[in-house]
Structure 1
C-alpha cells in the first residue's frame, strides 16, 4: 500500500527521474538513505517499471503523428496474434490498444511525412488478412503533452 510520501516520491520521479537520493530527501523531508530505500522498494514492488528519456519527435524528423483505428474482419485468436505480431514489428507504431466499439485497435504512430503514413496504412496494415478497415486521424497539434500518471 502506498502512503502519502510514496505518492509524492512517484510524482516527483515522473517529472524528473534523474533526481538523486539527496535531492529526493530534500523534496520529501527524508534522509537520503530513507529516500533511496523508498525508491528501491517502489522499483522492487513494480510501481516504477523503468526509466526512459522523452525524445522530441520533430528533432528526429518525425513530423506526422496520427491515431489509426483498425477493425478486423475476423476475430479468431490466430488473427489477433498475427496482427499483434505485425504491430510489434513496426517501430513507427509507438503504442497500441484494444478497444470496445467500432474499432478493434487504436494505434498511435509517428511518421516522417504523409507519404510514410500512407505507406504504413496501404502497404502494411490494409494488406494484413485479418484487417477489414483502417481509419486515421492526423494530429494537427498536441496542446497537452503526455502527462505523468495521477498518484
Structure 2
C-alpha cells in the first residue's frame, strides 16, 4: 500500500492518541468522518495499523528491573530454534525478541520486578531451554527513548 500525506497524518495522530474520536480525527485531517473511517479501515486491512493500545509505565506496574539479554544458541537446529521462539513468545517477562546478525543470535528485552526475579527468569526459564548456550545481560539504567511513533 502506498501511503500519501493524509495517511501519514492519520497515522501520526493515531500514534499520539489512539483514543481520538473518528470525528476529531476527521476534522484534524480535513476529511469527512465516513471517508476517514474507510481510510483507517484500509490502513488496518493492509497491515499498516497492526493494533491499538496504551503505553504503560513498567515501574508503576511493579516491573522495576529491565535488561537487554544477548542470547547465544548451542547450534542452529531448526527444531530447537522453533522451541526457543515459542518459549520466549509466551514468557511474560520477555517484552521484545529480535533475531539479529552479529555475535548474538537473539536479543531479548526483559522486564522483572527485581534482580531476584530476573535471576529466576534466567535459571528457571532461559537456561532450561535446550537451544540456549549462554546469555549476556546488560542492565538498563534508564530509558532514553522508547515507544516513539513510527515516522517516514
Residues 1:9 and 2:10 are matched in the alignment? yes
CA distance in 2, matches of 1:105, 1:145: 20
Q: Which residue of 1 aligns with 2:146?
A: 145
> How far apart are the structure 1 equivalents of 2:145 and 2:112?
20
Task: Report how many residues are paired.
Answer: 151
SS of corresponding position for 1:126: helix
TM-score by length of 1: 0.94
Where in structure 1 do 4 or more consecutive aligned residues deviate above 4 Å?
none
Deviation at 1:38, TM superposition (A): 1.1
Matched ranges for 1:2-151 at <5 A: 2-151=3-152
Deviation readout 1:85-112 (Å, 9 max, x if unpaired): 2212210101101011110000011100
- Pick which of 56-65 and 126-135 moved more: 126-135
CA–CA separation in structure 2 for the residues paired with 1:32 and 1:82: 46
Q: Aligned partners of 2:128, 2:22: CA distance in 1, in Å?
A: 51
Secondary structure of the corresponding residue to residue 36 of structure 2: helix
CA distance, structure 2, for counterparts of residue 111 and residue 43 of structure 1: 32
Matched residues in 2 for 1:5 and 1:89: separation? 37
TM-score under structure 2 length normalisation: 0.93
Gaps of 5+ in 1: none
CA distance in 1, matches of 2:141, 2:63: 13
